[in-house]
């Protein structure tokens, strides 16, 4: 999304419609969601799939019922400290627009979240989503442990085989980098601005 788009749209808030998340369909995602037991503490997951307004909205709609849930829009994967939205939009900082999810351990399988990430954007377009162009809109998974990395890679291979044959996934799977929350007006943007821009690739593909 451009800086101009951030100024477009209604300012009247509305209640977000909560929806039931789709069931996982690939083996690793299914396995990660079986026999879940709540544990102390929280787990963190970070995904980049284009304009963070739509990414945040999709995850919040389907997973905000989870205990200790929090979904924050922000910037990661770059080399500038505490970047501004203007800087990130210029493509000069190396950051991706992303969402940081936190939730109680054992409340959802990480593999399920990875499949949800894949099924709600186009992971085959390099440095772009829909009309949005630039490295800040790249597809990426930023992992916080070896377990997350292994699950992310397994789900990626399974999604490629089952749903995207002939269309190579270009999603980068990298260790989590420094995270910076986006400016306050980006948080829950589509909930607070129902007429705001949402990338057309943020929809269900299966």
- The residues assigned a catalytic role are 51
The residue written with tokens 């699950």 in the block is: 151
**Which residues, 6+ apart, have CB-to-CB distance to 145 below 8 Å?**
none
The sign of the CA dihedral 157, 160, 166, 168 is negative
Q: What angle do CA 112, 124, 56 make, to 5 degrees?
A: 50
**Which residues, 6+ apart, have CB-to-CB distance to 105 below 8 Å?**
38, 39, 40, 41, 42, 43
């Amino acid at each position: 999304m451009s800086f101009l788009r951030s100024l477009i749209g209604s300012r009247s808030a509305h209640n977000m419609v909560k929806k039931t998340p789709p069931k996982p369909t690939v083996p690793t995602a299914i396995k990660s969601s079986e026999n879940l037991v709540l544990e102390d503490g929280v787990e963190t997951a970070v995904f980049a799939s284009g304009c963070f307004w739509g990414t945040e909205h999709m995850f919040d709609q389907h997973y905000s019922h989870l205990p200790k849930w929090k979904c924050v829009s922000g910037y990661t994967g770059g080399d500038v400290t505490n970047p501004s939205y203007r800087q990130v939009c210029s493509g000069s900082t190396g950051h991706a627009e992303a969402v940081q999810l936190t939730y109680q351990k054992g409340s959802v399988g990480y593999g399920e979240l990875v499949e949800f990430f894949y099924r709600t954007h186009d992971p085959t377009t390099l440095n772009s989503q829909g009309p949005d162009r630039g490295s800040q809109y790249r597809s990426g998974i930023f992992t916080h442990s070896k377990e997350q990395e292994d699950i992310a890679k397994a789900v990626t291979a399974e999604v490629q085989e089952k749903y995207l044959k002939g269309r190579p996934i270009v999603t980068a799977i990298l260790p989590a980098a420094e995270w910076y929350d986006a400016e306050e007006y980006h948080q829950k943007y589509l909930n607070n601005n129902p007429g705001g821009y949402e990338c057309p690739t943020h929809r269900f593909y299966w």
